[in-house]
Chains A and B, each alone.
Chain A
Amino acid sequence: MNRTRPIIVIAIAAAAVVIAGSIAIGVTTMSRSDATTPLPTNAVKMTLPGLAAASGAPELTSIRLLHPRPGEVRQAAGPFDDRLALDGLAFDGTTVRGSLRVTSDVSAVLDLEVIAGFYDAGGAFLGIERFVYHAVHDGPTDPVTGTPVESIPFQATVPAEFAGRTASASVGVPVLVNE
């Protein structure tokens, strides 16, 4: 009887120690696998210090610097001139027309804004009108092949306040997004 008691004590103690150790290891293992940081709500920078909020529609200062001759349509410099061509520019005294062709790699035109400038017979700047294109889906496609078209026709009419005084026009592109 006395000989078996130490063995029982040892067995109970050993079991307790093993269980305790297992719990300790298990807890730390569990805490390691669950050591996920709650999704930080402040991970997104919702404000950008130093950035002035945009005001008004896009402008092209180059339009005010041009002085086209009567009947002429000039292209005003813009940020995307190296990736587009303006074809068939024409001005009939009331409306300036043309089409924009993307000359760089393109799969679809998503957004386009064309600013038309109007001038009097002396080449003095009068004002502007805009043509805005926004693709609802992936942009216009060829009805036969289904592939994106890379030429978008545009037109802008002389505002009523300048009617009868407008002799020439310019066009420039401040917004162009092609996928």
Chain B
Amino acid sequence: MRRRIPVLTSTTLIAALVATAVIAGTAGVASANGHTGETEGRTKNVIYLLGDGMGRTHVTAARERYYGSDGKLAMETLPSQGFISTYAVEKLSGQPGAKNFQPNPVTDSASAATAWSSGVKTYNAALGVDATGTVMPTIMELAKKAGLRTGNVSTAEVTDATPAGQMSHALARGCQGPVYSDAACQDLAITGKALPTSDIRVTPIADQIARNGTADVILGGGLGRFDAADETALKDQGYTVLGSPTSQRIATKADLASAQGQKVFGLFNRGNLTIEKAKQDNPSSVQAQEPTLPEMTSKALELLTQKGTTKDQGSSKGFYLQIEGALIDKRSHANDAAQTLGEMKAFDDAVKVAKEFAAKDGNTLVIVTADHECAGFNIIEKGTFTNAEAATPPANVDSGNTANNSSPTRPRNLVDPTRSTGIINGSGAANPKNFAPATFRIPSDPAGVVDGSPEAGLWLTYLSGNHTGADVPVYASGPGSDQVQGTIDNIALFDIVGHALRITK
């Protein structure tokens, strides 16, 4: 004799389980097919911020200068932190692990830009091609192809290495335009013989940017690289062009503020944008009408997230936005610490804008890093001096002491008065052969202590006027940022971003 209630109970239970399984499975399928949204479970947006030439000391010095020893820059508050190795390779080298792999310990901005944009090591000066000259797609091109919106913002000419690395392919970074030249565009060491000028790899970068539509929003400098034909090509693709390449009228901060549209092209200087310190020191100048990097960042985010008028133009699929603080590097090359610090502050303020956007959005990966360190920037203790100022390097002689009786032997470490003639941004400013440090007041200094004085708390020095091979810091937040930990190589950034957006293998 069977009992009816258990049978009913079991039937109900099975039905419930079947229903649950079906619903769960269906929900999963629906999600996988994107029925629950355009982002399909992936990271919706990526904001990639790049401080050109920004080494670890650049970050520390800017923190000390603007927020004090116990403060933090905005980038330092991002939860995932690590370091990036930045080496390049020689021409015709294989990739890491290949038999013909030939590394170059110190990269330039072009090789580094290609590393994170295209995921390959290449030679210094190459953009969007590997070390054999083979064209490689960039993250921005892949994002565009996948239907995401794209933006590229820089304080340099937009034909310069970092922005160009996302939206052009060139054997030589000097092939910027407005005209082609053999010397600037060809590289016979790579190709053996000159490529036809119709080849994209020797097409001036300005011509490429104006015609390939890779970035929806392009903001920066470099109007002098573009001409009337470029303006026509941009407008034919639907760009709102601020200023005019034809008349060479530069765009202004006011033009940017009122700009609207899905595609915006605005260049605010014929060359690189003006450094922040110069604008602050000359507020009535024409250059002071250029927008700041944080202002361009805010506007780019506004333009990339506005609703479109058609399905393809909408913002629902998300965006990829690259922001470059370019002048950190350029002023480090010149060993100008005051301007370097000013550019660091502007860059970090742009990071703050990105961070605030990401906090509100909730599905945005923010990565802050650099392409390479520039000039061996360092902080020395107040009152000390560098080897460059010294008559001899630090002492290393004591024949009776096994710890320091080796070669070389040096009797003493003294300042050379001809190489150290006073604080370089103070009493020693007039001497071009002076290697003394630049000094800056920090928040904890007593009132009355000024920049350029021996009493200031922050003493900054440079090793050289060129790039170094030091690893650079990286900071990240948002979905996928857990991949940005420890020490990783710069080509890994391509996969991290590509995987987050689901646009690469």
Q: What residues of chain A lie closer than 8 Å to B464, measured between beta carbons?
A: 146
Task: Verify if A92 is at the interface (C-beta below 8 Å from B).
Answer: no
Known: A174-B179, A175-B179. A37 touches B502 (CB 8 A): yes
The A contact surface, by secondary structure, is loop
Q: What residues of chain A lie closer than 8 Å to B505, measured between beta carbons?
A: 36, 38-39
Judge whether B224 and A179 touch: CB under 8 Å.
no
- A5 to B, closest residue via Cβ: B2
Task: Verify if B457 is at the interface (C-beta below 8 Å from A).
Answer: no
Once the chains are docked, how many angstroms separate the CA of A21 from the CA of B295?
51
Judge whether A36 and B7 touch: CB under 8 Å.
no
A-facing mask of B160-188, CB < 8 A → 1, else 0?
A: 11000000010001101011111110000
Known: A18-B21, A54-B197, A82-B270. A24 touches B180 (CB 8 A): no
Judge whether A134 and B183 touch: CB under 8 Å.
yes
Once the chains are docked, how many angstroms separate the CA of A135 from the CA of B28?
57
B-facing mask of A21-56, CB < 8 A → 1, else 0?
A: 100110111011101111111111111111101110
Q: What residues of chain A lie closer than 8 Å to B327, measured between beta carbons?
A: 105
Judge whether A21 and B20 touch: CB under 8 Å.
yes
Once the chains are docked, how many angstroms separate the CA of A61 from the CA of B145?
40
B-facing mask of A134-166, CB < 8 A → 1, else 0?
A: 110110011011111000000000000000000
Judge whether B18 and A110 touch: CB under 8 Å.
no
A72 to chain B, nearest CB (A): 27
Task: Verify if B17 is at the interface (C-beta below 8 Å from A).
Answer: yes
Residue picked from B181, B203, B329, B464, most chain A C-beta under 10 Å: B181
Once the chains are docked, how many angstroms separate the CA of A83 from the CA of B176?
16
Judge whether A18 and B17 touch: CB under 8 Å.
yes
Judge whether B20 and A107 touch: CB under 8 Å.
no
Task: Verify if B228 is at the interface (C-beta below 8 Å from A).
Answer: no
Known: A14-B14, A44-B141, A142-B465. A179 touches B160 (CB 8 A): yes
Judge whether B137 and A43 touch: CB under 8 Å.
yes
A8 to chain B, nearest CB (A): 10
Task: Verify if A122 is at the interface (C-beta below 8 Å from B).
Answer: no
Known: A24-B24, A80-B224, A146-B465. A51 touches B211 (CB 8 A): yes
A100 to chain B, nearest CB (A): 15
How many A-B residue pairs have C-beta atoms within 8 angstroms? Tell me.
Answer: 209
Once the chains are docked, how many angstroms separate the CA of A28 from the CA of B137?
29
Judge whether A179 and B31 touch: CB under 8 Å.
no
Partner of A137, one of B14, B124, B198: B124
Number of residues in B with C-beta < 8 Å to the partner? 85
Judge whether A32 and B41 touch: CB under 8 Å.
yes
Task: Verify if A73 is at the interface (C-beta below 8 Å from B).
Answer: no
Task: Verify if B467 is at the interface (C-beta below 8 Å from A).
Answer: yes
Partner of A27, one of B28, B141, B183, B274: B28
Q: What residues of chain A lie closer than 8 Å to B176, measured between beta carbons?
A: 177
Judge whether B14 and A13 touch: CB under 8 Å.
yes
Judge whether B135 and A46 touch: CB under 8 Å.
yes
- B269 to A, closest residue via Cβ: A104
Judge whether B184 and A53 touch: CB under 8 Å.
no
Task: Verify if B503 is at the interface (C-beta below 8 Å from A).
Answer: yes
Once the chains are docked, how many angstroms separate the CA of A33 from the CA of B28?
12
Known: A21-B21, A32-B41, A134-B174. A50 touches B181 (CB 8 A): no
Residue picked from B236, B270, B335, most chain A C-beta under 10 Å: B270
Judge whether B334 and A147 touch: CB under 8 Å.
yes
Task: Verify if A65 is at the interface (C-beta below 8 Å from B).
Answer: no
B23 to chain A, nearest CB (A): 9
Once the chains are docked, how many angstroms separate the CA of A53 from the CA of B197?
5
Known: A17-B21, A44-B141. A79 touches B184 (CB 8 A): no
B229 to chain A, nearest CB (A): 8
Judge whether A146 and B466 touch: CB under 8 Å.
yes
Judge whether A175 and B224 touch: CB under 8 Å.
no
Known: A39-B142, A145-B465, A179-B160. A134 touches B14 (CB 8 A): no
- A133 to B, closest residue via Cβ: B183
Partner of B28, one of A24, A36, A49, A137: A24
Once the chains are docked, how many angstroms separate the CA of A142 from the CA of B207?
34
Partner of B32, one of A28, A46, A50, A142: A28
Q: What residues of chain B lie closer than 8 Å to A17, measured between beta carbons?
A: 14, 17-18, 20-21
Q: What residues of chain B lie closer than 8 Å to A27, measured between beta carbons?
A: 28
- B499 to A, closest residue via Cβ: A36
Q: What residues of chain B lie closer than 8 Å to A21, measured between beta carbons?
A: 17, 20-22, 24-25
Task: Verify if A121 is at the interface (C-beta below 8 Å from B).
Answer: no
B123 to chain A, nearest CB (A): 11
Judge whether B21 and A28 touch: CB under 8 Å.
no
Q: Beyond the given A47-B200, A108-B333, please list 7 additional residue pairs across the A-B interface where CB-CB is below 8 A.
A: A32-B31, A43-B137, A54-B203, A82-B271, A105-B327, A107-B329, A134-B183
Between A and B, 17 residue pairs with Cβ closer than 8 Å are: A7-B10, A10-B14, A18-B21, A31-B32, A38-B505, A42-B145, A44-B135, A44-B138, A50-B211, A53-B198, A54-B180, A83-B270, A107-B330, A144-B433, A175-B184, A179-B109, A179-B160
Nearest 10 CB-CB pairings of A with B: A28-B28, A21-B21, A24-B25, A147-B465, A54-B180, A107-B333, A111-B174, A53-B198, A17-B17, A111-B184
Interface residues in chain B, defined as those with a beta carbon under 8 Å from any beta carbon in chain A: 1-3, 6-7, 10, 13-14, 17-18, 20-22, 24-25, 28-29, 31-32, 40-42, 108-109, 124, 128, 135, 137-138, 141-142, 144-146, 160-161, 169, 173-174, 176, 178-184, 196-198, 200, 203-204, 207-208, 211-214, 224, 229, 233, 236, 270-272, 274-275, 327, 329-331, 333-335, 433, 464-467, 499, 502-505
